[in-house]
Amino acid sequence: MSERKVLNKYYPPDFDPAKIPKLKLPKDRQYVVRLMAPFNMRCKTCGEYIYKGKKFNARKETVQNELYMGLPIFRFYIKCTRCLAEITFKTDPENTDYAMEHGATRNFQAEKLIEEEEKRIQQEREDEELNNPMKVLENRTKDSKMEMEVLENLQELKELNQRQALVDFEGMIDRYRELEKREREREKEEDERETTEMLERVLVKRLRDSDSDSDREEQSSSQSKTSCADKPTDILTTDKTDVQGASSGGVKRAKVESWEKSVGTLGGRGALSSLVVRKKPTATDKRPVTEEATVSPVSKTDSKTSTGDSTDAPKSSVSQNGSSSLSLLGAYSDSDSNDSE
């Protein structure tokens, strides 16, 4: 199967093309080819219309004794699709076209005939001007005169049309310019309105941001003031009575946190007063202790241990702490004397 697609056949070494016999065919032999009608035509026998591009199985032959610059001319034979009459035409290499011979007439030849007539007139004029300079001058004056007449006729036609149409071209141009000016002004106003709206939006947004920043600053300053006023260690030096008195007096205290509640108060009475029993001093005590001597060191120790402000702790709490500590010292001294005895 692959051999039938091979383009180059095998030639043996002893191949001699002169030994191949040649067929003696006539020069005007005909071939059957497939072609399309080169132009529109009409059959002379039945009047059938054959349009351009109609396909035919035509017979082709070479025209004898006719050449154009060494190029052969071919003739084609076709049959009418209705009456089967024979129609012939041949090639025309001089005009790059086809020429009808017999059996039909070519349609729509007006344009081609005009072109041929113009070519003929131009050729005759060139032949006349070739040997007659006066003819050249006459032809030039005729051409210039013809051009002037054509321009005058054209101007007259324009003026006639303007009078009949009654169209004010200047007014139309003025209206168009006015409309264009209004459109530009409207676009400019729209642009200005859009810019003003954008600026207003930006300004409102900035004002809102500044208001929110000021509120945050005020809130942070108030929190800092409250934190400075109410320290976590203030509860160590304050008494419950002070807290109750302040709350009853109408002063609103900050919320007490859970970790502050767990600390408790060091200066309260209920812390150690239930465990200590106060003993009355007697005359048999070896080391009489005066109240003033005992109060002063205790008060000093209490002032050292207190971490809050001295103004926040009342004097009553100091005296109570001193009396409780005095009772503890007296009890310890009695127990020591009993042990020594």
Cα gap 20→285, rounded to integer Å: 168
User: Residue 132: what are its φ and ψ, rounded to 5°?
Assistant: -135, 100
Give the integer Cα–Cα distance in Å for 53 and 51: 6
Token pair belonging to 69: 């610059």
What is the rounded distance in angstroms from the CA atom of residue 333 to the CA atom of residue 112?
A: 153
Q: Is 46 annotated as a binding residue?
A: yes
Other C-beta atoms closer than 10 Å to the C-beta of 104 total 26
> Is 228 labelled as part of a ligand binding site?
no
Of 287, 283, 289, which Cα lies nearest the Cα of 323?
Answer: 289
Q: Report the C-alpha gap between 38 and 30 in whole angstroms.
A: 20
Q: Which of 91, 118, 89 is nearest to 106 (CA)?
A: 89
Residue pair 12/18 in contact (Cβ under 8 Å)? The answer is: no
Q: Would you list which residues are annotated within the binding site for Zn(2+)? A: 43, 46, 80, 83
Q: Would you list which residues are annotated within the binding site? A: 43, 46, 80, 83
